[in-house]
């Protein structure tokens, strides 16, 4: 009987082709549709401007913002996007968002492939569905941000590390090279955290298995040397381009804000598991459900305290969850890196995103292992009941969302201009589509939930993810664009600043999206006197946060008291007041 189940779990070539086609079409709908419809939000404009200025220079080059060296982030996104723009013959929001959409699609397909190879077609489908149903993946897979490609490269790195550790000879050597290539790509895309993730996981794996020979494996040594060579070469190039002072300041700021925890950060550590549990849904739901025995298991006779009983229960859960070597590998890679992120200052959803692929694979494995028809039959009855209850609860919630969406759509038919505060609820059709998707998926699950390969849940989650697209476009993105878009501000700047005159950014370089939508040239300078190579106007135009106009520390200038100060325009950018003003830079005062 188990052999029949195992054969069915492998899936035929026709089933695999169908799965890949469905997942690809769903990704195309979610990540690629409407890419050029919305203006840049949050830091999208910053990423896009770095690439756009490279396009203006003819292709990949050293990164700049407002025509001044930019050292806060590495250049691989900008290089890739500038090449895409050159091939497509244009640069716009769609081109800027293509890398994230492509990597999100590859991530979903990669999770399907890894899950299918590790645990059968049902595990692959579930892992892919968890990714598509995750709000953070849906969000950052659409944005012109660094996070989704970084996540894809980190996931690829971990998968290749597993191959390198479990195979020998040429396969292991190639896997090590591939893993370090992926880690280096991630580091050059966003940050060297990828190498921290790799080594924390590797050291934990080595300690758990008492295996250290991998440290002197030829592939590992060559890969590490190659990665360090690339990153060192980039550091030297940046030092030459921007100068040691700017690079040192930027590096110090990144270390303090991203890696060095303060007291407030340490006090938030107990909240981190809750943050991960929420932002990792629905995958985390099944990881938590698999830990039912931690809460319900019997204490051993020697356990004399609550803490000891809890520790014993956790050890039992770990032993059960890690019974499969692949699940153990996922846990050994996940746990130390989650602890690292819990201690580090940055705790928003996007910082945990790189570990989501491991989490989704683990959740898929635990969920499928709990089925009564599972080939290994290793899940305890308590865990089976807990995961089944979690699955039922998830679908009850989805059915509730579907019903609420239909109610919202009906209300919008009667009151099409209904708003909540400043947020429009969009057209009724968007809510009807979401409601129909949730109810159809929930009905399909209710009818076929005893299917041995759990296709009902997986297909339903994919359908719900696709059904979310209209609401995300018409409501969520419309609201974000209304609050963040700088197109109107750029038009107002163009109306104030004469044609041919540039705008000089003082203080922080946080106006890239404004520059992208303006017809005026923007230059980032440190002092008003640096404007002279770019303009001959007696009173040039400057742009700055209002909060920075008056220096807080001794020696910092007070621009409001400078000679010739005249405020020309005031606007808001992401809840910050911004001033366009003129100064008499030749007065000497």
pLDDT single digits (tens) 146-193: 999 999 999 999 999 999 999 999 999 999 999 999 999 999 999 999
Residues with Cβ within 8 Å of residue 88, at least 6 apart in sequence: 95
pLDDT over 90 for what percent of the chain? 58
My answer on whether omega of the bond before 282 falls inside 30° of 0, hence cis, is yes
pLDDT single digits (tens) 84-96: 999 999 999 999 9
Adjacency order of strands within the sheet including 503-505 = 522-524, 503-505, 541-545, 576-582, 566-573
Give the number of other CB atoms < 10 A from CB of residue 102. 19
* Segment 166-172 long-range contacts (CB within 8 Å, at least 24 positions apart): 166/325, 172/217, 172/219
344 beta partners: none
pLDDT single digits (tens) 403-416: 999 999 999 999 98
- Burial (Cβ within 10 Å: 0-12, 13-18, ≥19) of residue 360: buried
Q: How far apart are CA 57 and CA 53, in angstroms?
A: 6
Q: How far apart are CA 528 and CA 475, in angstroms?
A: 42
Contact, 436 vs 467, CB < 8 A?
A: yes
Q: For residue 248, what pLDDT band results from cuts at 50, 70 and 90?
A: confident
Q: How far apart are CA 20 and CA 113, in angstroms?
A: 9
Contact, 439 vs 402, CB < 8 A?
A: yes
- Token pair belonging to 506: 């003082």
CATH fold of the domain at 487-582: D-Maltodextrin-Binding Protein; domain 2 (3.40.190)
Q: How far apart are CA 85 and CA 91, in angstroms?
A: 5
- For residue 287, CA distances in Å to 61, 331, 381 come to 44, 11, 16
Which range, 74-83, 114-123, 263-272, is most confident? Answer: 74-83
Contact, 124 vs 19, CB < 8 A?
A: yes
Q: For residue 8, what pLDDT band results from cuts at 50, 70 and 90?
A: very low
Strands 541-545 and 503-505: parallel
How many Cα neighbours within 13 Å face the side chain of 108? 29
Q: How far apart are CA 129 and CA 360, in angstroms?
A: 9
Q: For residue 6, what pLDDT band results from cuts at 50, 70 and 90?
A: very low
Determine the pLDDT at residue 80: 97
Alpha helix (H) residue ranges in 291-427: 292-296, 306-321, 325-343, 349-352, 356-369, 381-414
- Token pair belonging to 302: 């020697």
Contact, 180 vs 227, CB < 8 A?
A: yes
Determine the pLDDT at residue 450: 58
pLDDT over 70 for what percent of the chain? 89
Q: How far apart are CA 369 and CA 119, in angstroms?
A: 9
Supply the angle between the helices 193-209 and 147-166 in degrees, to the nearest 10. 30
Determine the pLDDT at residue 320: 72
How big is the CA angle at 83 (ends 505 and 490), to the nearest 5 degrees? 30
Mean pLDDT within 21-46: 93
Selected residue with higher pLDDT from 258 and 234:
234
pLDDT single digits (tens) 334-380: 999 999 999 988 767 788 999 999 999 999 998 887 665 554 545 56
Residue 299 reports pLDDT greater than 70: no
DSSP for 146-201, written as a single string? SHHHHHHHHHHHHHHHHHHHH--HHHHHHHHHHHHHHHHHHHHHT-THHHHHHHHH
- Token pair belonging to 282: 């629905």
User: In which residue are the tokens 């059709």 written?
Assistant: 429
Residue 549 reports pLDDT greater than 90: no
What's the chain's average pLDDT? 87
- For residue 347, CA distances in Å to 63, 344, 354, 510 come to 27, 7, 13, 22
- Token pair belonging to 321: 């969850």
Residue 315 reports pLDDT greater than 80: no
Contact, 519 vs 492, CB < 8 A?
A: no
- Token pair belonging to 365: 């494995």
DSSP category for residue 538: S
Give the number of other CB atoms < 10 A from CB of residue 581. 23
pLDDT single digits (tens) 271-293: 898 999 999 999 999 888 887 65
Domain ranges of the chain: 147-260, 387-484, 487-582
581 beta partners: 542, 567
Give the torsion sign (CA, 419, 420, 423, 426).
negative
Selected residue with higher pLDDT from 392 and 313:
392
């Amino acid at each position: 009987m188990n052999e029949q189940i195992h054969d069915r779990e492998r899936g035929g070539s026709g089933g695999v082709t169908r799965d890949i086609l469905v997942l690809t079409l769903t990704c195309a709908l979610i990540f690629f549709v409407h890419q050029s419809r919305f203006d840049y939000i949050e830091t999208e404009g910053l990423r896009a401007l770095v690439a756009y200025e490279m396009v203006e220079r003819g292709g990949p080059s050293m990164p700049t913002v407002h025509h001044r060296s930019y050292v806060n982030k590495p250049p691989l996104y900008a290089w890739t996007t500038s090449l895409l723009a050159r091939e497509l013959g244009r640069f716009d929001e769609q081109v800027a968002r293509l890398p994230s959409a492509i990597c999100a699609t590859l991530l979903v397909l990669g999770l399907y492939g890894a899950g299918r190879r590790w645990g059968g077609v049902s595990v692959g489908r579930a892992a892919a569905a968890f990714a598509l149903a995750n709000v953070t993946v849906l969000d950052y897979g659409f944005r012109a941000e660094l996070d989704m490609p970084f996540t894809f490269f980190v996931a690829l790195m971990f998968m290749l590390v597993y191959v390198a550790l479990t195979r020998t000879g040429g396969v292991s050597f190639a896997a090590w090279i591939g893993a370090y290539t992926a880690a280096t790509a991630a580091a050059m895309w966003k940050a060297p955290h990828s190498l921290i993730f790799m080594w924390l996981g590797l050291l934990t794996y080595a300690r758990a298995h008492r295996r250290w020979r991998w440290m002197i494996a030829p592939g590992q040594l060559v890969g590490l040397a190659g990665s360090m060579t690339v990153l060192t070469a980039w550091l030297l190039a940046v030092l030459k381009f921007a100068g040691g002072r700017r690079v040192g300041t930027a590096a110090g700021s990144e270390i303090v804000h991203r890696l060095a925890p303060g007291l407030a950060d340490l006090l938030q550590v107990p909240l981190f598991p809750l943050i991960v549990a929420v932002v990792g849904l629905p995958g985390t739901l099944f990881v938590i459900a698999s830990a039912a025995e931690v809460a319900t298991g019997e204490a051993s006779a020697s356990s004399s305290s609550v803490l000891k009983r809890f520790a014993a229960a956790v050890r039992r859960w770990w032993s059960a969850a890690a019974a499969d070597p692949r699940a153990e590998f996922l846990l050994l890679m996940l746990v130390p890196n989650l602890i690292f992120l819990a201690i580090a200052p940055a705790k928003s959803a996007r910082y945990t995103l790189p570990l989501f692929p491991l989490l989704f694979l683990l959740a898929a494995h635990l969920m499928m292992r709990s089925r009564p028809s599972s080939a290994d039959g290793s899940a305890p009855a308590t865990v089976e009941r807990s995961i089944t209850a979690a699955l039922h609860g998830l679908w009850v919630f989805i059915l509730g969302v579907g019903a609420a969406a239909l109610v919202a759509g009906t209300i919008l038919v009667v009151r099409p201009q209904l708003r909540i505060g400043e947020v429009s609820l969009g057209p009724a059709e968007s809510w009807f589509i979401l409601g129909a998707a949730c109810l159809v998926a929930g009905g399909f699950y209710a009818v076929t939930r005893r299917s041995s390969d759990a296709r009902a849940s997986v297909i339903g989650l994919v359908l719900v993810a696709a059904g979310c697209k209209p609401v995300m476009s018409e409501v969520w993105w419309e609201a974000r664009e209304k609050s963040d878009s700088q197109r109107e501000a750029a038009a107002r700047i163009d109306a104030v600043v004469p044609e041919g005159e540039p705008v000089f950014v003082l203080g922080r370089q946080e106006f890239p999206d404004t520059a992208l939508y303006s017809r005026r040239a923007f230059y980032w300078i440190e002092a008003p006197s640096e404007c002279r190579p770019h303009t001959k106007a007696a009173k040039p135009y400057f742009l700055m946060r209002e909060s920075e106009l008056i220096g807080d520390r001794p020696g910092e200038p007070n621009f409001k008291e400078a000679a010739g100060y005249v405020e020309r325009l005031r606007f808001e950018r992401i809840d910050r007041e911004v001033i366009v003003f003129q100064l008499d830079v030749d007065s000497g005062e």
